[in-house]
Amino acid sequence: MSSSSPPGSHLESVEEPAPASVDRLPPELRLLSLQRYAAFFAASPDGLLVVEATGEILYCNQAACTLLARSSAELRAARLEAFIEEDGLARYAEVALGFVRGALPPSADLPFLTGAGARRILNLTFNGALREESGIIVGLRDVTNERALERELTRTKEFLQRVIDSSVDAIVCADMEGNVQLFNPAAERLYGYAAHEVVGTLNVRELYPEGSAREVMRRIRDPEHFAPGELHGYETELLSKGGERIPVTLSAALLMHRERAVGSVGVFTDLRPRRRMEASLTDANRRLAEQEKHSVVTELAGATAHELNQPLTAIAGYATLLTKRGTDDERTARALHNIGSEVDRMSAIVRKIGSITRYETIPYVGETRILDLEASVGRTATSHENDSPAGDLWDLEKLASIGRNVAEVVHEVNNPLTAILSYAEGLSERLRDRLEPRDHERLGRIVEAANRIRRFTRELIDYSKPAARTFTRVDVHHVIERAIELTAHLRRDGDVSLDRAFNGSGVIEARESLLLQVFVNLLTNAAHALAGRGGTIRIGTEATPDTLVIDVADDGPGIAPENLARVFEPYFTTKPREVGSGLGLSIVQEIVHEHGGHIRLHACAPNGARFRIELPVRR
């Protein structure tokens, strides 16, 4: 027995035979010929088997026994395939064929069933160094956990690849030199490049306008924007294959490995659809605001037709009195006759306005009567179209159409009005020394009444014009005064007083016609709230260097608590359906937001309502 054999090894129990040909040695003697390798086999941390080409196991080290949970005798009593699971036998047959042909595979993964009944994946390596002893060295290494991890990593990688490929946002990865490493299908659609045209070919700088890539990397590394190595929601532009500059939102990050940046990834959201939608919504809101404004014009013009009768009657009366006094001056007589003719012409225009608006009223609160929208747009009392937003829009569009026609007809008032003023002022100047004091007063009253009509119609025409698209420096106090003038008839009819208190400068950057619409709407609502009960509307301002605060309040019945959260909803109204479209406050809020401001309701029933608007002084 060789002293070099490790204790417990099967090799130490074999007596050394007389020399003979290896090929003719029986298995026991061939095993003895392996004696010189015993120390090496025993010291190996991996399981080792020596098998014949037929698969018979000649030798196994202790590591192999431990790995397979079987004894040395159990292993040597069978062929290798006896311990392989059924699903691995086909692969083992290929390996065994290599044994016979002498073409050993470098390695193979095979499933084994251990003596403990456990399934283990073993990686087998093959070495023909013992061919002279008719043996093949088979190394065994348990790779069960490795292969499971590899499968999980493969599944995760495939899943992430599907996520990347399915993303609606473009995803681009690059190494630290800027060479593109990943370009998903959404990036292909966004840029117009195929992935193979970009990956490994283009530098990421070529996907941005000049200098933009450098700025993006600067921001990613700048801790003032986000956490170092991150960038979120940054709006920039990309450069498509065709040279188009594409607006996008970018979220990007550095890819780190062992605390070292190895690349970068960017996720790009195309802003073009959103901007088209925003433009469409902005246009729709603008048109809706114009329609709402024209519907207000209808009410104001209806009031105009109702209200202009007083100064118009005064002009006609004073002109008649002056004519009756008689004059030998043919030129004076002709001027007075012309004033009368122009009054008749204006009366016809006022009747035309009344005809267009079909200005009819209904009882509202107490003895107050307000515009009957149903009658004004020619709707029947049994119509149910108004029970939905579509019906509300129908009403609004009808009123807007009426409002546009009214504005055109009101414009016609200027011609006879100019003539009346010209004749009256001319007579007053030319006959200054010849007329009695009361006749001078009568001419003055004609001029005063004509100017009153001019102011009102001019405000109405200005109000009905489309809103300017640009922001300019506007005195909000002046705009409020215009709104007060336009809504004066609502307060006169309802025994409503108005208090104003302007503090500080009211100059801000704004769109004047839109602000006028805001204040006309709020003052109209306040007057309606006080209709039939009387009360006071208070409007005031407070200015700071950065903000102008405007309060519009009334001491009416207020707004019920359950309605507070809904006052700015489109189509919501607490007024009778014949009175309001429910769009006024919604559009007011939209206009205030467009100016970068806020509007809030600060008071409720039973203490009246107070709307507070905060507008930035500068945009």
* pLDDT over 70 (residue 131): no
Q: How far apart are CA 485 and CA 40, in angstroms?
A: 109
SS3 360: coil
In terms of Cα–Cα distance, which of 223, 224, 229 is closest to 260?
229
- The phi, psi pair for 235, rounded to 5°, reads -90, 125
For residues 436 and 266, the answer to whether their CB atoms sit within 8 Å is no
Q: Using pLDDT thresholds of 50, 70 and 90, give the confidence band for residue 529.
A: confident
Backbone phi and psi for residue 265, each to the nearest 5 degrees, phi listed first: -130, 140
For range 307-323, the mean pLDDT: 73
**CA–CA–CA angle 482, 522, 363 (5° rounding):** 105
What is the spatial distance between Cα 293 and Cα 399, in angstroms, rounded to a whole number? 10
Mean pLDDT taken over the chain: 78
The token pair that represents 474 in the structure block? 């506007």
For residues 451 and 211, the model is more confident at: 211
pLDDT of residue 557: 84
Does the pLDDT of residue 269 top 90, yes or no? yes
- Choose among 36, 113, 110: nearest CA to 74: 113
Confidence at 551, pLDDT banded by 50, 70, 90? very high
H-type helices in 431-565, by residue range? 437-464, 476-486, 488-493, 512-530
CATH code matching the domain that covers 472-616, chosen among 3.40.50.720, 3.30.565.10, 3.40.640.10, 3.40.1000.10: 3.30.565.10
Superfamily for the 167-270 domain:
PAS domain (3.30.450.20)
- Residue 199: φ, ψ to 5°: -65, 125
Q: How far is CA 429 from CA 210, 332, 488, in A?
A: 72, 12, 32
Q: How far apart are CA 452 and CA 579, in angstroms?
A: 27
CATH 3.40.50.620 fits 10-145, yes or no: no
Does 10-145 match 167-270 in CATH topology? yes
CA separation for the pair 541, 543 (Å, rounded): 7
Q: Using one digit for the tens of pLDDT, what is the confidence trace for 58-69?
A: 889 999 999 999
Q: 570: closest CA among 391, 429, 389?
A: 389
Per the model's pLDDT, the better-predicted residue between 56 and 99 turns out to be 56
Check residue 473 and give left, alpha or beta (phi > 0: left; psi -120 to 50: alpha): beta
Q: Residue written as tokens 């490929």?
A: 165
Percentage of the residues of the chain whose pLDDT score is greater than 90: 31
The whole-number pLDDT of residue 302 equals 58
Q: List the structure tokens of 49.
A: 């088997």
Domain spanning 291-464, CATH class: mainly alpha
User: What CA–CA distance (Å, rounded) separates 521 from 519?
Assistant: 5
Domain ranges of the chain: 10-145, 167-270, 291-464, 472-616
In the three-class reduction of DSSP (H, G, I as helix; E, B as strand; rest coil), residue 257 is classed as strand
Q: What is the DSSP string of 516-527?
A: HHHHHHHHHHHH
